[in-house]
A and B are shown apart, each in its own frame.
Chain A
């Protein structure tokens, strides 16, 4: 168990809908990263927050947004969902804002868009 929790584990929704994925980092970790994992693209970095502030952006679509709250938990919001958004979404956390420090991954949320 990495200490990172993600809810829900599974999410099934329809095209055009909006969902929110939640992540609680390990105790003491200030950085939260969101990744998308699909069979064709692999594990892709979406966005990073550090102590409540956005620090880095990767291949995140405009339909997606995230935030980190004062208690350091984070939410990833996906809107106007398309079939191609079906994937595993992972949250990871680390102590610092440096990507090369060890990142601890949660169990993931499996999103299915029908």
Chain B
């Protein structure tokens, strides 16, 4: 079992839809959970950052972490064509030298 599992998609939705992206993980030592967005031919950029369990909201984006289920989610409300990108979950423990482990990414396409 890989440490981080993420459905690669692709996921196609119409503009205005609510999008749900998910990752599962196996390492209970993970404490920091992130979502990176990667546009085609670009480097990833940090979108959301959560420590331990709970929810975090930033505009149209909401990140949820359920450590008991080892499951994290990213919700995008009122999706826009500009949200079309690959979304990578990433997670890390809290010790120096503990690498960031990425999911393979989910490719999202939002059509107008």
Contact = CB atoms under 8 A, between A and B. Distances in A.
Interface of A: 2, 4, 33, 41-45, 48, 55-56, 58, 90, 92, 97-100, 102-108
Nearest to B102: A43
B43 A105 contact: yes
Given A42-B105, A99-B92, A100-B32, A107 B43 contact: yes
Interface residues of B, number: 24
Interface of B: 31-32, 34, 41-46, 49, 88, 92-94, 96-105
A42 B92 contact: no
A42 B100 CA distance: 13
Main secondary structure of the interface of B (DSSP, over half): loop
A40 B42 CA distance: 18
Given A2-B43, A2-B45, A4-B43, A103 B100 contact: yes
Given A42-B104, A43-B44, A56 B49 contact: no
B42 A107 contact: yes
B46 A108 contact: no
A95 B45 CA distance: 16
A58 B45 contact: no
B43 A42 contact: no
Nearest to A110: B41
A2 to B, nearest CB: 6
Given A56-B98, A56-B99, 10 more contacts: A42-B105, A44-B102, A45-B100, A45-B102, A90-B43, A92-B43, A99-B97, A103-B46, A105-B45, A107-B41
